[in-house]
Chains A and B, each alone.
Chain A
Amino acid sequence: MMRPAIPPDRRLDHALAQMLFLKYRLGGLNRLGMATTNPRTLYQKIWDAHVVERRDDGTCLIYIDRHLVHEVTSPQAFEALRLAGRKVRRPDLTLAVPDHNLPTTARRDAQGARIPIADRESAQQLAALEHNAPEFGIRYIGDADREQGIVHVVGPEQGFSLPGATIVCGDSHTACHGGLGALAFGIGTSEVEHVLATQTLLLKQSKTMEVRVEGELTPGVTAKDVVLHITGVLGASGGTGYVIEYTGSVIRGLSVEGRLTVSNMAIEHGARAGLIAPDDKTIAYVKGRPYAPKGDDWDKAVAWWKSLATDPGATYDKVVVIDAADIAPSVTWGTSPEDVVPITGTVPAPDSFADASKRDAAAKSLAYMGLEPGQPMASVEIQNVFIGSCTNSRIEDLRAAAAVLKGRRKADTVKWAIVVPGSGLVKAMAEAEGLDRVFVDAGFEWREPGCSACLGMNPDKVPAGERCASTSNRNFVGRQGPGARTHLVSPAMAAAAAVAGHLTDVRDLI
């Protein structure tokens, strides 16, 4: 279209307007003189809201809103504070919960006295946290409290973890809280000490990746299958250096608990953190929880949370699009979480990988796992089933497993099957719904909350050479005990495997 000619008597005004336009736009102001900002991603918005100071080299001092502490990665941090005569800056923004070492059998005898923990070192770590938390003024949810559980279950459940917050914990699965739209990531013990002392961390901004999962999940395919599939697509290091925002119709369609499951495993594809934009479901989930904002604070919080979604036109450094139709109930065959195939698939041949070091790794994995190339995954016999962990121990996970087990029993060849609720509150809710009966009737043990068989730090271990269909997040060599062979699956798939005695397609049972 031709531009209309500017009449001579209007030319000066027009030139002036253009100059003003340029001045304001280049100066970051719109025509009304208000500041304009470039479209920003969810990650950028949370980051910007937490910058205390920016250094010339781009490193930022980032404020930490919530700090979860457990017994494994904190003793040396408290020790260092004590030696240096330093205090915890914000004990009120810190919450301590023991989880990794706690046995999942009864913790108190009939008289209410603590049953001693056999492993001396476990007991020592637990005692250190029980002692350090009150010494530094930190709220402690102990083994006898109903609210105790896995930190990543307890944080959201208590309303301590909030959308838009920066959340850290000395545990790599802290990414879990990203399911609420919080910027949450794991840190090491020196950083735990840094956060305790200063409530900040020195960080460089990560690159951003959008993983968009579009379409509709087919029956029997759950949040766990989505994240296993993503890990298979990206690889164990595909997300290194990135914070991943999970988007698309599938992610929006997931419940908040499902989103926590997806974000929980962000670290398994190498990402520093996972994020899912908070929406009405998130807000409804947080509302009324013990530490959730109340009154005026609540209204302000909701308004802010609603402003956090990625702006239209904002760009990511990388975008990966996944079609929901490609996602089947998934299972791992190897010793890296990237070793994912659909349950209908077969064990891959090491030669099938283009990368030489992956071929080598695959051959080692198969030797460790005792599997042959070409073997159908659905024929792999299992002797153990573990339903639990920060990935899959929330109420919906237990409901999904119980739905498969109702009226059925585990195969006799399955020697050990346990269900470990993520917290005492999840346990109570499940019992109120009668799920514990379903599990017990199916031949499962119904346990006390904790990290349990996800990692070999407490008495729940898988014997060497045996297989476990596990709803946890890592299939590393020795993760569930020396020589243990782990197949990562969803809760429904774990339940199906228990019934069949081998890995099997849960869709045949529903």
Chain B
Amino acid sequence: MEPVKEITGRAYPFGQKNVDTDVIIPSHWLKTITRDGLGRGAFETLRADPDNLFDSAEFKGSPILVAGDNFGCGSSREHAAWALFDLGVRAVIAPSFSDIFSGNAFKNGILTVVLPQEAVDRLVEVAKTDPIHIDLESQTVTTPFQDRFTFEIDPFRKHCLLHGLDEVGLTLARGDAIGAFEGTVRTDRPFLAKGTDVGVAA
């Protein structure tokens, strides 16, 4: 995974609330068996309108998306994060995100920035004409107009993003602890330790 440190550039002044993952990537795009090329399907319904934001000459390829409350709600499809990444989006700023979406975004190197509604409203205004700068190290979003918003981020997620760390590899290194836990379960809750091998014959 590529490290994420600073993201600078134009931002889609999107602002819509309750944008579900069906809007981000409609279900007929879920039939791929690889992660690439989903950018073509990103926001497909909205992009049916020739004057849409995502294909406008001014905004096309912007690395930042400024959205409304509850972004990424609905289906857990990680394709939503892949589609945004493939579209070129590296950070989404919104007042809130669905839990599943923000987890998926993080795992694919997309930064989700939670800011209060007033800050998001302001950024939507700025984004219409000017670039936005996000600095993960200092946890700030700044504009050319001296706006400066700080955001919270889970320290572990910040560390992983800054260093481009692979979560699966990090956890595999804890194999001994996982093995020890499995030993306890076999003793204390043996019924959970047996899955499909409980067998009809048991």
Q: Does A380 contact B (CB under 8 A)?
A: no
Contacts of A29 in B (CB 8 A): none
Contact status B195-A66, CB under 8 Å:
yes
How many positions in chain A have a CB within 8 Å of any CB in the partner chain? 88
- Stretch in B51-59, B95-103, B132-140 touching the partner: B95-103
Contacts of B98 in A (CB 8 A): 237, 240, 270
Q: Does A371 contact B (CB under 8 A)?
A: no
Q: Does B197 contact A (CB under 8 A)?
A: yes
With A90-B195, A294-B198 as contacts: A204 and B154 at CB distance below 8 Å: yes
Q: How far is the CA of A86 from the CA of B171 in the complex (A)?
A: 13
Contact status B200-A188, CB under 8 Å:
no
Q: How far is the CA of A477 from the CA of B28 in the complex (A)?
A: 13
Contact status B70-A270, CB under 8 Å:
yes
Cβ 8 A contact of A124, one of B22, B31, B168 = B31
Interface mask (A468-510 → B, CB under 8 Å = 1, otherwise 0): 0000001011110010000000000000000000000000000
Contacts of A160 in B (CB 8 A): 195-196
Cβ 8 A contact of A122, one of B23, B31, B103, B104 = B31
How many positions in chain B have a CB within 8 Å of any CB in the partner chain? 60
Q: Does B190 contact A (CB under 8 A)?
A: yes
- Stretch in A10-18, A69-77, A424-432 touching the partner: A69-77
Contact status A55-B156, CB under 8 Å:
yes
Contact status A92-B197, CB under 8 Å:
yes
- Stretch in B3-11, B141-149, B177-185 touching the partner: B177-185
Interface mask (B86-111 → A, CB under 8 Å = 1, otherwise 0): 00000000001011100110011000
Contact status B45-A477, CB under 8 Å:
yes
Q: Does B167 contact A (CB under 8 A)?
A: yes
With A57-B154, A57-B155, A197-B168 as contacts: A301 and B191 at CB distance below 8 Å: yes
Q: How far is the CB of A367 from chain B (nearest CB, A)?
A: 13
Contact status A93-B73, CB under 8 Å:
no
Q: How far is the CA of A477 from the CA of B16 in the complex (A)?
A: 15
Q: Does A277 contact B (CB under 8 A)?
A: no
Contacts of B70 in A (CB 8 A): 236-237, 240, 270
Contacts of B182 in A (CB 8 A): 63, 199
CB-CB nearest in chain A for B70: A237
Contact status B167-A194, CB under 8 Å:
yes
Contact status B195-A53, CB under 8 Å:
no
Contacts of B181 in A (CB 8 A): 52, 63
CB-CB nearest in chain B for A298: B191
Contact status A188-B76, CB under 8 Å:
yes
Which 8 pairs of residues, A with B, have the shortest CB-CB distance?
A: A188-B78, A121-B31, A293-B191, A75-B33, A188-B104, A190-B107, A186-B76, A237-B70
A and B contact pairs by CB, cutoff 8 A, 5 listed: A59-B154, A61-B174, A80-B168, A86-B172, A300-B191
Q: Which residues of B contact A (CB under 8 A)?
A: 16-18, 20, 22-23, 26-28, 30-35, 45, 68-70, 73-79, 81, 96, 98-100, 103-104, 107-108, 154-156, 167-168, 171-172, 174-175, 177-178, 181-182, 185, 189-192, 194-198, 200, 202
